[in-house]
Amino acid sequence: MNVLLTGGTGNLGSRLLIPLVRRGDRVVIFDLNDQPFIPSEEFDQCKIIKGDLTDRDAVVGAVQNEKIDSIFHLGAILSAQAENERDRAWTINMEGIRNTLEAARLGGVKKFIFSSTLATYGAGLPSPLDIDSPMWPASLYGVTKVAGELLGVYYHHRFGLDFRAIRFPSVIAPRGMLGGAGRFTSEVFLEAVNNGAYEFYLRPDSSIPIVYIADAIKSFLLIHDAPEENLTRRSYNIHARGVTPGELETVVKARLPHVKITYNPEPLQTAMVDSWPHALDDHHAREDWGWQETYDLDRMADEVIATLQNEQDSTHE
């Protein structure tokens, strides 16, 4: 199978390509960048097309020339960066999804997987959050993801494209998401290992749903491979649990007692995180395509810290 990853050199894409290559898929990466966020032997087996998502001809050409069967659309400007670069975020996020959907239509792509976000929802909603709760996002990033989902569903109804979306919570990873307001869930581990200190830009009790990177990657494969007749909807929520900066401080200090943790809440990012739901109802994903997290907070912390320490040791050899 020929698979296209837009934004394929990024945090999610450079990790997702690994199991795709290992299972025998031919992976094509479409990205402005040609260096992976996470290097791997599998990345070296992928074809790289340097291109801009706002260039429709380039996206269409990549899909048609490479005879793409499935697309994972991961390319986007994330939440915190989007607030600082609103025009750029609007152009890349909106033109990017529109051009990639159109390329899928013209190229006869069989499946289109869209990486969405819990930021599609707004403030003041119940927890756990029902999947069909109103979507009035408090961030431009969330606005573009709502629009992207709706456009994908339109392409499904109008052209028969098999569009599927996952709304991710904050994804914890060694050297995780950059640019998002939920990045603290990964940054705290990185800074704790590398610098022995971290200052949260949120309150200790700010709460956010999380999932570990390995489970996030697994969810992409599960939703992609699920028979279409099993799907009861086009967009799905997933999450593992909620977590606060205070809880992250506890698990970090349990493993690295010397680390200094401080708090300096930044109003805009605090408001953004507080606007997100604290827990998500993801039973549709569990029932329709077998979603199930395998990492709890302690296992996440153990693996992230061990990975970062191993990386640190290897750079000092």
pLDDT tens sequence across 143-177: 999 999 999 999 999 999 999 999 999 899 998 76
For residue 249, pLDDT beyond 90: yes
The superfamily CATH assigns to domain 172-209+240-277+295-316 is UDP-galactose 4-epimerase, domain 1 (3.90.25.10)
Give residue-wise pLDDT tens across range 61-95.
999 999 999 999 999 998 778 888 999 999 999 99
Give residue-wise pLDDT tens across range 134-144.
999 988 999 99
Catalytic residue among 121, 141, 198, 201: 141
CA dihedral (276, 204, 299, 219) in degrees, to 10, reads: 10
**Which residue matches tokens 């009035």?**
136
State how far Cα 308 lies from the chain centre. 20
For residue 317, pLDDT beyond 60: no
- Mean pLDDT of the region 240-262: 96
Known catalytic membership, residue 141:
yes
Tell whether domain 2-171+212-237 is in CATH 3.40.50.2000.
no
For residue 232, pLDDT beyond 60: yes
Prior bond of 36 cis (ω within 30°): no
Alpha-carbon gap, residue 247 to 300, rounded angstroms: 13
* Alpha carbon distances (Å) from 118 to 98, 195, 208, 237, 238: 21, 30, 10, 8, 9
What does the domain layout of the chain look like in residue ranges? 2-171+212-237, 172-209+240-277+295-316
Give residue-wise pLDDT tens across range 265-297.
999 888 878 877 778 899 999 999 999 999 999
Alpha-carbon gap, residue 140 to 79, rounded angstroms: 7
Helices 184-195 and 245-255, interaxial angle, to 10°? Answer: 30
CA atoms in the 13 A half-sphere facing the CB of 77: 25
* Alpha carbon distances (Å) from 251 to 55, 257, 272, 297: 45, 10, 24, 8
